[in-house]
C-alpha cells in the first residue's frame, strides 16, 4: 500500500537539537512557556514554540558542571552511545538565551534566583552567551553554579520528515519553572512569550501558528491536572518512541501532520517514506487507491453529520475482473456515474452496511446501470431509513462473498447504530469496512428504537477479538490500531453512561431532555438535539440493566 514509480528526492541530514518545555502549576491546570519566533522567511517564522535549538560542539565541555546526572546515564536515557548529556546542556543554554530562565544551582544547592544583584549580573551574560562571545561554562565557573541537568525529564524524540530541506533530530524535555525567576524573551529570535494552559493554546487554532511537535506535545500535556501528575508520568518506566511528522499535500500546499491529525494513519499507509505524495483532504469525487483491491470515492454530501461526505468503496479482484461497491451513498447521479468511471472492471455486487439515507439510496440507481446484485439487511424499524432499499438477498453475519480467487469479503452483523448494520472484512488485508459502526473523530449517534446502546457495545467487544490491521470508515480517512481505537470507544461510551446515570441520580425524576445539559456538558449546545438521541439509548440500556426506571416519561434511579 504505497506509491511507487518515482525517484525519491535526496534527504538532507537531521541536525541534533534539544527542546525544553518549561511548565508551572496554575489555576485550572499546568501551563507551559510559549515563545513566538521572529519572522525569518522559513517554516518556523512566526511560529509559537518552546525554548530550544541546535547542539553546539562545546556543549560536551560542560558535562562536569552538570548536577545529578552524568553522560553515561543521560546517554542511556536517550538511547545513544555517548554525549547524551549534550542535549541537556543545549536545552538549558537555549532556555537561558531565548527565555531568560537559568536552570542552575548555586553553591548551597538551591535553584538560582535572577532577582537582585546576582540576577542582574547573570542577565548581563545572556546576550554574550547568545552571540557566542561567552560560554555557559564560563558563566557557571564565574558565579560558582552547576547546571540543573537532573531537573530535566526526557519526553520524546522528533525527526523532521525527509522531504524537508532543513531537518532536525530533536529531543524534547520537560522541566518545572524555577520559582524565583521571571521569563523574558530575547527580542531577537523570540519576539513574544506567553504562559498558557495547553487547552488555551490549542483552542486558538490557526491564530496561533504551531508546528506539529509543539501541538502534539501540548495535546499530551493536556491529559494531566498538575505538574506533579505530568512528572509522575515522565519518570515512570515507558518506551520513548521516535516520532516523525508525516507530510501530505492539499489546498494549502505541503503540510506536516501529527498522530492527532485525521489523515495520519492513511498517509503513513500510502506514503511510508514521507515524500508528500498523499492528500490530507478528502475531496468528493476523487478516487483514492488504498490498495491493490480497494478504491475509495467520496460522495458530495458533506455535513455536520457526514463529515467530508459518505465514503463508497470499490473492492475488486486482484486481476480487476470483478468489483463490489460497499455503500453506494445517497441517490446522486453524479456520484453513481463517478463510481462507474472509477471501477477498473464490471461492478457485480452492491453492498449496504445499513440503510440510513446517506449510505444506501444510491443502490437502486447503480443497479439500474450495472445489473449488479444488491445485498444487505432490512431494518427492524423503518423510520428514518431508506424506504426504497430492496436487497436481492439479505446477508447474514458470517457469510462470505468471493469477489475473486484472492479477494474475500465476510459480512459481520454489528447492530447498535442500526439494527441491520453490517461491517465487511476484507480477509486478505485484514481491513474492516466499518460503515457507521466506527467513525473517525466522533462517536456515532445511537437513535432508538432502531439504535440500541447495549447491542452497540456488544458488537464493539466482538470486533475487539478480531485480528484487524485497518479500519475504513463510512466517513473519514483510514484508521490504524483497531484494537486500541475500539477499546477507547468502549471506554468513552461507558464514561458517558456513568454521566447519564449521575444526571438521573442528581436531577431525577426528570425527562430525558432535562438530563442532556448535565450528561453532555462537554458537547456544544447546538448538538444537544443529536445528543438527546444517544442519551435516550443510554437510558434504555441502564433500564435494561436494572439501574434506572421510567414512570410516565420521567427517569429516576431504580
Can you tell me which residue has the cell 490500531?
A: 481
Q: Where are the beta strands (DSSP E) in 371-421?
A: 373-376, 393-394, 400-404, 407-413
Q: Which of 417, 471, 441, 493 is nearest to 304 (CA)?
A: 441
Distance CA 253, CA 423 (A): 35
Helices (H), 297-349: 333-342
Q: Which residue from 38, 36, 33 is spatially nearest to 48, judged by alpha carbons?
A: 36
Task: Please name the helix (run of DSSP H) or strand (run of DSSP E) that holds residue 231, with its range, or none.
Answer: helix 227-235
Helices (runs of H) and strands (runs of E) counted in the chain: 15, 26
Which 3 state secondary structure label does DSSP give 257? strand
User: Catalytic pick from 358, 436, 450, 452?
Assistant: 358
Q: How far apart are CA 154 and CA 172, in angstroms?
A: 6
Residue 194 three-state SS: strand
Query: Could you tell me if 531 and 522 are in contact, meaning their C-beta atoms sit under 8 angstroms apart?
Result: no
The gap between the terminal CA atoms of the chain, to the nearest Å, is 53
> CA of 327: how far to CAs of 323, 356, 376, 556, in Å?
13, 10, 10, 40
At 268 the three-state DSSP class reads helix
Neighbours of 2 (CB within 10 A): 13
Burial 385-421 (b: 16+ CB within 10 A, else e): bbeebebeeebeeeeebebbeebebbbbbbbbbbbbb
Handedness of CA 264, 265, 268, 269 (dihedral sign): negative
Q: Where are the beta strands (DSSP E) in 253-359?
A: 255-257, 287-289, 294-298, 311-316, 323-326, 347-351
User: Under a CB-based contact definition with an 8 Å cutoff, are residues 99 and 185 in contact?
Assistant: yes
Instruction: Calculate the dihedral angle through the C-alpha atoms of 120, 126, 128, 134, rounding to the nearest 10 degrees.
Output: 100
Count of beta carbons in the 10 Å neighbourhood of residue 38: 15
Q: Is there a contact between 55 and 17 (Cβ–Cβ < 8 Å)?
A: yes
Active site residue 71: no
Q: Which residue has the cell 519553572?
A: 177
Q: DSSP 3-state assignment of 139?
A: helix
Q: Residues 74, 60: contact at Cβ < 8 Å?
A: no
Nearest of 481, 415, 401 to residue 450 by alpha carbon: 415
What are 452's strand-pairing partners? Answer: none
Residues annotated as catalytic are: 358
Amino acid at each position: 500500500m504505497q506509491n511507487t514509480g518515482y525517484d525519491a528526492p535526496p534527504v538532507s541530514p537531521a541536525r541534533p537539537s534539544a527542546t525544553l518545555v518549561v511548565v508551572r502549576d496554575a489555576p485550572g491546570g499546568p501551563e507551559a512557556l510559549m515563545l513566538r519566533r521572529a519572522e525569518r522567511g522559513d517554516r518556523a517564522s512566526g511560529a509559537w514554540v518552546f525554548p530550544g535549538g541546535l547542539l553546539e560542539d562545546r556543549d560536551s565541555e560542560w558535562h562536569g558542571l552538570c548536577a545529578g546526572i552524568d553522560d553515561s546515564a543521560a546517554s542511556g536515557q536517550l538511547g545513544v552511545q555517548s554525549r547524551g548529556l549534550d542535549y541537556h546542556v543545549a536545552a538549558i543554554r537555549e532556555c537561558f538565551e531565548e527565555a531568560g530562565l537559568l536552570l542552575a544551582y548555586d553553591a548551597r544547592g538551591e535553584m538560582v534566583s535572577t532577582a537582585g544583584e546576582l540576577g542582574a549580573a547573570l542577565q548581563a551574560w545572556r546576550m554574550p552567551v547568545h552571540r557566542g562571545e561567552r560560554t555557559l561554562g564560563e558563566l557557571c565557573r564565574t558565579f560558582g553554579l552547576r547546571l540543573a541537568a537532573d531537573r530535566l525529564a526526557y519526553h520524546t524524540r522528533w525527526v523532521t520528515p525527509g522531504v524537508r530541506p532543513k531537518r532536525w533530530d530533536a529531543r524534547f524535555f520537560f522541566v518545572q519553572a524555577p520559582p524565583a525567576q521571571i521569563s523574558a524573551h530575547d527580542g531577537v529570535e523570540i519576539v513574544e512569550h506567553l504562559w498558557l494552559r495547553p487547552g488555551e493554546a490549542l483552542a486558538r487554532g490557526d491564530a496561533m501558528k504551531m508546528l506539529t511537535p509543539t501541538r502534539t506535545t501540548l495535546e499530551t500535556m493536556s491529559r494531566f491536572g498538575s505538574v506533579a501528575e505530568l512528572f509522575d508520568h515522565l519518570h515512570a518506566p515507558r518506551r520513548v518512541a521516535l516520532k516523525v511528522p508525516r507530510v501530505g499535500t492539499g489546498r494549502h500546499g505541503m503540510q506536516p501532520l501529527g498522530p492527532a491529525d485525521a489523515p495520519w494513519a492513511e498517509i503513513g499507509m500510502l506514503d511510508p517514506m514521507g515524500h508528500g505524495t498523499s492528500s490530507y483532504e478528502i475531496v468528493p469525487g476523487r478516487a483514492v487507491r488504498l490498495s491493490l483491491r480497494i478504491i475509495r470515492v467520496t460522495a458530495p454530501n458533506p455535513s455536520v453529520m457526514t463529515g467530508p461526505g459518505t465514503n463508497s468503496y470499490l473492492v475488486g479482484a486482484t486481476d480487476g475482473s470483478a468489483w463490489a461497491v460497499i455503500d453506494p451513498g445517497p441517490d446522486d447521479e453524479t456520484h453513481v456515474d463517478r463510481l462507474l468511471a472509477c471501477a477498473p472492471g464490471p461492478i457485480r455486487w452492491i453492498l449496504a452496511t445499513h440503510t440510513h439515507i446517506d449510505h444506501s439510496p444510491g443502490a437502486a440507481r447503480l443497479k439500474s446501470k450495472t445489473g449488479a446484485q444488491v445485498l444487505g439487511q432490512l431494518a427492524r424499524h423503518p423510520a428514518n431509513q431508506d424506504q426504497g432499499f430492496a436487497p436481492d438477498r439479505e446477508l447474514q453475519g458470517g457469510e462470505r462473498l468471493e469477489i475473486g480467487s484472492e479477494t474475500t469479503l465476510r459480512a459481520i452483523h454489528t447492530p447498535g447504530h442500526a439494527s441491520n448494520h453490517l461491517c465487511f472484512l476484507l480477509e486478505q488485508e485484514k481491513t474492516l469496512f466499518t460503515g457507521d459502526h466506527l467513525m473517525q473523530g466522533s462517536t456515532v449517534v445511537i437513535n432508538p428504537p432502531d439504535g440500541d446502546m447495549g447491542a452497540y457495545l456488544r458488537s464493539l467487544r466482538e470486533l475487539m477479538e478480531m485480528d484487524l490491521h485497518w479500519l475504513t470508515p463510512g466517513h473519514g480517512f483510514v484508521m490504524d490500531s483497531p484494537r486500541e481505537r475500539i477499546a477507547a470507544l468502549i471506554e468513552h461510551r461507558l464514561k458517558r453512561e456513568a454521566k447519564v446515570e449521575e444526571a438521573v441520580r442528581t436531577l431525577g425524576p426528570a425527562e430525558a431532555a432535562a438530563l442532556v445539559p448535565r450528561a453532555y456538558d462537554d458537547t456544544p449546545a447546538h448538538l444537544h438535539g443529536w445528543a438527546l438521541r444517544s442519551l435516550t439509548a443510554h437510558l434504555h440500556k441502564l433500564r435494561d440493566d436494572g439501574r434506572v426506571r421510567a414512570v410516565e416519561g420521567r427517569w429516576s434511579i431504580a
